[in-house]
Amino acid sequence: MACYHDTTRKTSPEQPNFIAQLSQDNWPSVLFAMAGGVVLSLGNLSTQYAWAFVGLSVTEVITASITVVIGTTLNYFLDDKINRAEILFPGVGCFLIAVCLGSAVHSSNAADNKAKLNKLRKAGYSSASKEATTNKELEDLENGNGTTEKAKAGTADFLVELENRRAIKVFGKSTFIGLAITFFAGVCFSLFSPAFNLATNDQWHTLKEGVPKLVVYTAFFYFSVSCFVLALVLNITFLYRPVLDLPRSSFKAYLNDWNGRGWAFLAGLLCGFGNGLQFMGGQAAGYAAADAVQALPLVSTFWGILLFGEYRRSSRRTYILLGSMLFMFIVAVAVLMASSGHRK
């Protein structure tokens, strides 16, 4: 819709419309936009693996905080320091503290889960006993037709049930695997906004003289195309060559399995709209301040704790760390928003 609106706007030599820019010699900026799409696609895919290991709440806080610590700092200098540094960088420091607290939350929660499972084994159970559930029963449970009583969130039985139902198995794997994937995703996310900034503002003067800078809509088009193409290639590749001991699948099986596909489409649409609005806001008020969209973990934490049962029946230490992480994150987002400036 945004692209359509831009094509109907009057063209000027300084700021041509979307259609006109497709045929111009602006490939350096196009490549920056496409690079942004590539790292976003890598970050999105990595995040989906990290959720299984680290959980929704901590994954989003750590990746968002790394995005701000690296990406916002880069955008501050790319935007010719239009944001107020005396406010911006204390906010970045708060995000850095949130990253450390998030890592501590994950470590503490992993220890809690290990203790719960040890108690279950001492009581005469094992994870193998839970695998007696048949594929048919699991399918019925996923479709909401099962009659098996669900384990209470936060219990050892709940953890075992979750492990048996999901494709990514995390029992017995190192805590650092999840954190490594999470940090990699955060680094990827931290680079897509600066890359888009370079695509639309050409701070490195890569365009030839007389060639206008990419408008947000044109840059977003190339950004989205590269993100989609890479996501398609990676997902098809991992169907046949899975990682982390996932079961092998096929493209045919993927097309035949529509369970949860509607949620996936909705997530993609929301991601696209969010990115587009972030870029338009960044062009107006500075990309550093536009990184305030990283407030998304506040919503995902609500989902993770209240809807998905994360951190239920955890230790007091875990709850204190979780509360501290969220508090520091809220402070950081507020400070980041207060640092906004106006592009000249």
Tokens of 114: 């290990």
- Residue 93 falls within a domain, yes or no? yes
pLDDT score recorded for residue 1: 38
What does the alpha-carbon distance between residue 179 and residue 176 come to, in Å, rounded to a whole number?
Answer: 5
| Domain coverage including residue 220 | 37-119+173-338
- Residue 84 falls within a domain, yes or no? yes
pLDDT score recorded for residue 231: 94
Q: Which of 86, 90, 72, 69 minimizes the C-alpha distance to 278?
A: 72
- Residue 155 falls within a domain, yes or no? no
What does the alpha-carbon distance between residue 319 and residue 326 come to, in Å, rounded to a whole number?
Answer: 11
- Residue 68 falls within a domain, yes or no? yes
pLDDT score recorded for residue 142: 47
- Residue 279 falls within a domain, yes or no? yes
Does residue 13 register a pLDDT over 60? Answer: no
Q: Which of 221, 155, 191 minimizes the C-alpha distance to 21?
A: 221
pLDDT score recorded for residue 214: 92
- Residue 54 falls within a domain, yes or no? yes
Q: What is the pLDDT of residues 26-52, one digit of tens each?
A: 999 999 999 999 999 999 999 999 988
Q: With pLDDT > 70 as the criterion, what percentage of the chain qualifies?
A: 83
Residue whose tokens read 């987002």: 333
Distances in whole angstroms, Cα of residue 54 to Cα of each of 37, 161, 190, 243: 25, 17, 19, 17
Q: What is the pLDDT of residues 55-90, one digit of tens each?
A: 887 888 889 888 888 988 888 888 777 767 788 788
Helix-strand-coil split of the chain, %, nearest 5: 70, 0, 30
What does the alpha-carbon distance between residue 301 and residue 21 come to, in Å, rounded to a whole number?
Answer: 41
Tokens of 91: 């906010």
Q: Is the distance from CB of 131 to CB of 162 less than 8 angstroms?
A: no
pLDDT score recorded for residue 27: 95
Does residue 172 register a pLDDT over 80? Answer: no
Q: What is the pLDDT of residues 105-147, one digit of tens each?
A: 888 988 888 888 888 777 765 444 444 444 444 455 445 454 4
- Residue 204 falls within a domain, yes or no? yes
Does residue 22 register a pLDDT over 60? Answer: yes
> Mean pLDDT score of the chain, rounded to an integer?
81
pLDDT score recorded for residue 7: 43
Number of domains forming the structure of the chain? 1
Q: What is the pLDDT of residues 188-213, one digit of tens each?
A: 999 999 999 999 999 999 999 989 99
Tokens of 110: 């992993």
Q: What is the pLDDT of residues 236-273, one digit of tens each?
A: 999 999 988 888 999 899 888 888 889 889 989 988 88
Question: How far does CA 289 lie from the centroid of its chain?
Answer: 18
Question: How far does CA 147 lie from the centroid of its chain?
Answer: 35
Distances in whole angstroms, Cα of residue 298 to Cα of each of 48, 264, 306, 328, 335: 18, 20, 12, 11, 15
Q: Is the distance from CB of 187 to CB of 66 less than 8 angstroms?
A: yes
- Residue 320 falls within a domain, yes or no? yes
